[in-house]
A = this chain, B = another copy of it.
Amino acid sequence: MKTAFERHDHSACADAAMARATDLAVARGLRLTPVRRRVLEILLERHRAFGAYEVLERLAAEGLGKQPPVAYRALEFLVENGLAHRIQRLNAFTACQSAHADGQAPAFLICRECQTVDELDAATLRAELSAAAGQAGFAVERATIEALGLCAACAGRA
């Protein structure tokens, strides 16, 4: 499996994600409406995070909604159903690239140079964090793990 940082056949990448989304919608009886589908498509265009207003601009240009709530609602739907993630550091959203269980969000690697965002399985990290927190009597419900740094390609260019 290639990382988001490497050259790869991205349309296959996006197609696979859309297929997962369609399957999930069928499986759970979710409504992947035009706005929601289009927002997911936009997020899937590149392996980076998109601001809500950036998504909104795109929607507006296509006549799919001009006001912030339109974008935020669609993004919220995608995030709730695990089809997208919110990147806290960037106040932005990115399409989910890997099927994973609910609430088991991965860790994110964010390249400060090319803005590419990749996912990293965080099951072990999350377990350890929960264990450590448990020592202090704290019950972890959701964990955010985001790493900012430099990807191999950008490090090479430096």
Contact with B along A132-149 (1 / 0, CB 8 A): 110011111111111111
Residue of B nearest to A156 (CB): B137
Residues A88 and B146 in contact, CB atoms below 8 Å apart: yes
Instruction: Tell me the complex Cα distance, A132–B128, Å.
Output: 14
Chain B residue contacts of A121, Cβ below 8 A: 132
How big is the A interface, by class? 35 or more
Answer whether residue A73 sits at the interface, using C-beta atoms and an 8 A cutoff: no
Contact with B along A87-119 (1 / 0, CB 8 A): 011000000000000000001010110000010
Residues B148 and A142 in contact, CB atoms below 8 Å apart: yes
Contact of A150 among B109, B138, B145, B147 (CB under 8 A): B138
Residues A133 and B150 in contact, CB atoms below 8 Å apart: no
Residues A133 and B120 in contact, CB atoms below 8 Å apart: yes
**23 residue pairs A–B, Cβ–Cβ below 8 Å:** A3-B138, A5-B136, A88-B144, A89-B144, A112-B141, A120-B132, A120-B133, A121-B132, A124-B128, A130-B147, A133-B147, A133-B149, A137-B152, A138-B149, A138-B150, A138-B151, A139-B151, A140-B148, A141-B148, A141-B149, A143-B147, A144-B145, A145-B145
- Besides the contacts A137-B155, A138-B147, what 6 more A-B pairs have beta carbons closer than 8 Å? A88-B89, A125-B125, A138-B151, A140-B148, A140-B149, A142-B149
